[in-house]
Amino acid sequence: MKNLLLPLVLLFSSTLFAQDIRSYIPEDATFLFSWNADQIGRKVNTRQLMQQESMDLIFQEFVQGMDSLQQEEYHRLMTDPSTYGIESQQPMHFVGKRDDRGTFYAFLFPLTNPSLLEDFVTRQMTVFGDSTVIEDFGAYKLVNLGSYHIGWNNEVGIIADGQPAVPAFDFNIYDEEPTDFEWNEEEPAVEPEEIEEIEEPGEIIEEQPEEIIEEQPEEYYDEEAVEEEYDPGYWEEEESTDVVAEWAGEILCRSFGPSILSNPDYLRVSDEPADAHFWISYQQFMALTSGGLGGQFGGMSMMGAPNPNKFLKSLYDGVFMSMTLHFNQGALELKTEMLGQGRMVKVLQDAYDAKFNRKMLKYIDGRYLLGYYSVRMNVEALVDGFKDILYEAMAEVPMYGESINRMLDVVGIIIDEDALYDLIKGDIFVGMTGVRESETTVITYEYDMDFNASEVEKVVKDQYPEFIVMTSYGNEENMRKLIRLGESFNLFLDMGSYYEIPGGEGMSSYLALHNGVLIFTNDGGLIEDHLSSGVEKANRLSKIHRKNLCKHVQAMFWDVQATWEALQQTDARETDQDLVEMMEGIKDRVETVSLLTSRKVKPSIRGSLMLNLTDKESNALEQVLELVNQVILEASGLARI
């Protein structure tokens, strides 16, 4: 953890702009995180933030064991990095890369005066022992400080770490030359000798053994012989530091091929103003986070099954994800963009070509809205897109691929795809529209003086969240067939124009089909009395929500404050304390949460996550760091960082 603290410290302490050091980042980086210190510095007082108690705790942890001079030096590094030649007013970057050699990470920062940095590093080297030296490679210098490397040239400094790849197991080690052995079949088998009977022993004369002198063997373990014979062959261990040093050198020399600045998609998204930017090569990132799904061994492919890595590659190759973070006044926004020429982008672009069924809008009561989630997809386009990819993946595996393809063909005979697409339109809306009160009459007892019990009716009121779930359908007759199936299992009761799912007094749910919309809700009044007209116009969703639903293929909204108020009306405090505690923590800070994915999918698929905070006066970053500060302080008595 300590080797990450220094870059974190520098991230927070940097405040401004300068030269673009992104030319030191390879185009095929797995991910890149960039921090726009200048923009952040204009929004919050970073020096003030640095003085928070949690930062002091982190710092104390970091400098533990150092003498006072060193502590003072690191404190100066935190508060004024320019003292050590670091250009603290520029974007800094954290890059990750995975290739055949291993997995590497590096923090890059711009320099104004590399010699100041070198002096600082030299002073730290005494901490790491005499064997630590600064290696001078001409174009750059590099030093190994234990578990990580620090390097620099005239423009940029780097803190690098990583792990070498574990080499693949070479099954060919067993391909040894066969021992020369000739089986001469002409030779007859050896006949067993007859076993002679043993004569009865005669008198046994015990002879006294002579004195035994134990001779100590000189060397029974010939180390040289063992080393000569031992041939690792299939297992060569490289020092991880050599691999990381090599990679760090490539970065500093820019000997990795084109830089990320040659990627036009990256340039377009990174040039948009943002406080922080995260760029991911999707396929590489999936491989990195999942350990390669079999990694170097490709375990599944050993058994003839499709190699997941290959499948992922075909799906995500050429797909990038860009995320920009915006710390605004009273709000935090994360914008995402999926772009590139990869197949996944194309599949999703086709799948997102779907319209919102506006008929659903009239059934949503917006007066006490707690939240909703809506998503829609063009099912046919989605299935066709993935089918092609799946067939190709199957073709890679001759052992199973052909059988699976033929099986899918048979399934295609049984299932009428067109009928399926006509039945399922690929959209769903789930909404929590308030709290519903139900009354139940129960029997309790009253006792007289002799404790004789008499039955008494009591009305018990319960509160339940009111929900509505809607999906579009095409063929009504086929949909009714599905519902009749549920009826046969006593799930539904046919009430004529709708179905009831009984749940006792005030707790029933209802299912109705109307004009291409299947509605499932516990609002009996809506289904029984207003199925055609819907909710009164004045009580429907507000314009902004209607717009969000229509213009986005995915829309989520959560009114945290309304949810908290609804929770107070229930007995959640007694029945679900964990939920109440969680909500208490959230409702003090967050007003609403919304997630949107745009229906406009070209040239890229865009989305956004917005947290509207209760405190509208201060910047979101200040509020986030204040929260982190509280969490760290609370935990500081329990665990060391």
Partner 1 sequence: MTASKIQRLFLLFFAVQILQGCFEIREEVDLRADGSGRFTFTVNLSESKAKVASYMRLGTFNGQEVPTPADIEEEIGFLKKTLSACKGISEIRTYSNFQDYIFSISGQFADVQSLNAAMERIEATMPVLSEQGAQLRNFGVGTHSFRRYFDYPMELMDDSNLTTLERYMLQQARVVSVYRFQEPIREYSNPQAQLAPNRRAIKLEITLGALMQGTGTIANSIAF
| Residues binding partner 1 (CB under 8 A) | 440, 442-445, 447, 449-451, 453, 460, 490-491, 502-505, 507, 571, 574-578
Phi-psi region of 367 (alpha: psi -120 to 50; beta: other; left: phi over 0): alpha
Helix (H, G, I), strand (E, B) or coil at 347: helix
Q: In this complex, which beta carbon is closest to partner 1, that of residue 463 or of residue 618?
A: 463
Q: In this complex, which beta carbon is closest to partner 1, that of residue 443 or of residue 639?
A: 443
How would you classify the pairing of strands 453-472 and 427-447?
antiparallel
Sign of the CA dihedral with 472 first, then 475, 478, and 483 last: positive
Amino acid occupying residue 616: K
Residues with Cβ within 8 Å of 279's Cβ and at least 6 positions away in sequence, in order, are: 29, 31, 32, 33, 34, 260, 266, 269, 270, 320, 321, 322, 323
What contacts 24+ positions apart, CB below 8 Å, involve 220-225? none
Entry field: residues in the chain: 641
Q: In this complex, which beta carbon is closest to partner 1, that of residue 216 or of residue 441?
A: 441
CA gap 89, 13 in Å, rounded: 9
Q: How far is the CB of 400 from partner 1 (least distance, A)?
A: 34
What contacts 24+ positions apart, CB below 8 Å, involve 545-550? 545/366, 545/369, 545/372, 546/361, 548/594, 548/596, 549/356, 549/361, 549/374, 549/429, 550/356, 550/358
Q: In this complex, which beta carbon is closest to partner 1, that of residue 246 or of residue 576?
A: 576
Q: How far is the CB of 570 from partner 1 (least distance, A)?
A: 12
The greatest distance separating any two alpha carbons of the chain, rounded to the nearest whole angstrom, comes to 123
Phi, psi of 98 (to 5 degrees): -125, 125
CA 387 vs. chain centroid, Å, equals 26
Q: In this complex, which beta carbon is closest to partner 1, that of residue 472 or of residue 522?
A: 522
Q: In this complex, which beta carbon is closest to partner 1, that of residue 304 or of residue 503?
A: 503
Q: How far is the CB of 290 from partner 1 (least distance, A)?
A: 32
Q: How far is the CB of 455 from partner 1 (least distance, A)?
A: 8
Q: In this complex, which beta carbon is closest to partner 1, that of residue 257 or of residue 503?
A: 503
Q: Is the peptide bond before 209 cis (omega within 30 degrees of 0)?
A: no
CA gap 614, 560 in Å, rounded: 10
Q: In this complex, which beta carbon is closest to partner 1, that of residue 127 or of residue 442?
A: 442
Torsion angle defined by CA atoms of residues 40, 43, 48 and 49, in that order, rounded to the nearest 10 degrees? -50
Q: In this complex, which beta carbon is closest to partner 1, that of residue 128 or of residue 445?
A: 445
Q: How far is the CB of 450 from partner 1 (least distance, A)?
A: 5
CA gap 597, 351 in Å, rounded: 13
CA gap 577, 580 in Å, rounded: 5
Q: How far is the CB of 566 from partner 1 (least distance, A)?
A: 18
Amino acid occupying residue 631: V
Q: How far is the CB of 99 from partner 1 (least distance, A)?
A: 47
Q: How far is the CB of 437 from partner 1 (least distance, A)?
A: 15
Q: How far is the CB of 110 from partner 1 (least distance, A)?
A: 53
Asked whether the beta carbons of 42 and 89 are under 8 A apart, the reply is: no
Q: In this complex, which beta carbon is closest to partner 1, that of residue 505 or of residue 565?
A: 505
CA gap 53, 60 in Å, rounded: 10
Q: How far is the CB of 443 from partner 1 (least distance, A)?
A: 4
Q: How far is the CB of 365 from partner 1 (least distance, A)?
A: 24
Q: How far is the CB of 499 from partner 1 (least distance, A)?
A: 14
CA-based R_g, the chain, Å:
36
Q: How far is the CB of 438 from partner 1 (least distance, A)?
A: 9
Asked whether the beta carbons of 58 and 625 are under 8 A apart, the reply is: no
Q: How far is the CB of 496 from partner 1 (least distance, A)?
A: 19
Nearest to 165 by CA among 298, 359, 344: 298
DSSP string, 380-406: HHHHHHHHHHHHHHHHT-HHHHHHHHH
Q: If you search the block for the tokens 């690098």, which residue do you land on?
A: 160
Q: In this complex, which beta carbon is closest to partner 1, that of residue 407 or of residue 460?
A: 460
| Angle CA 536–541–547, to nearest 5 | 135
Asked whether the beta carbons of 43 and 327 are under 8 A apart, the reply is: yes
Q: In this complex, which beta carbon is closest to partner 1, that of residue 172 or of residue 575?
A: 575
Q: How far is the CB of 449 from partner 1 (least distance, A)?
A: 6
Q: In this complex, which beta carbon is closest to partner 1, that of residue 503 or of residue 603?
A: 503
Q: How far is the CB of 289 from partner 1 (least distance, A)?
A: 32
Q: In this complex, which beta carbon is closest to partner 1, that of residue 42 or of residue 458?
A: 458
Sign of the CA dihedral with 303 first, then 307, 308, and 311 last: negative
Read off the tokens for 425: 């339109």
Phi-psi region of 199 (alpha: psi -120 to 50; beta: other; left: phi over 0): beta
Asked whether the beta carbons of 160 and 247 are under 8 A apart, the reply is: yes
Q: In this complex, which beta carbon is closest to partner 1, that of residue 297 or of residue 445?
A: 445
Q: In this complex, which beta carbon is closest to partner 1, that of residue 197 or of residue 450?
A: 450
CA gap 7, 14 in Å, rounded: 11
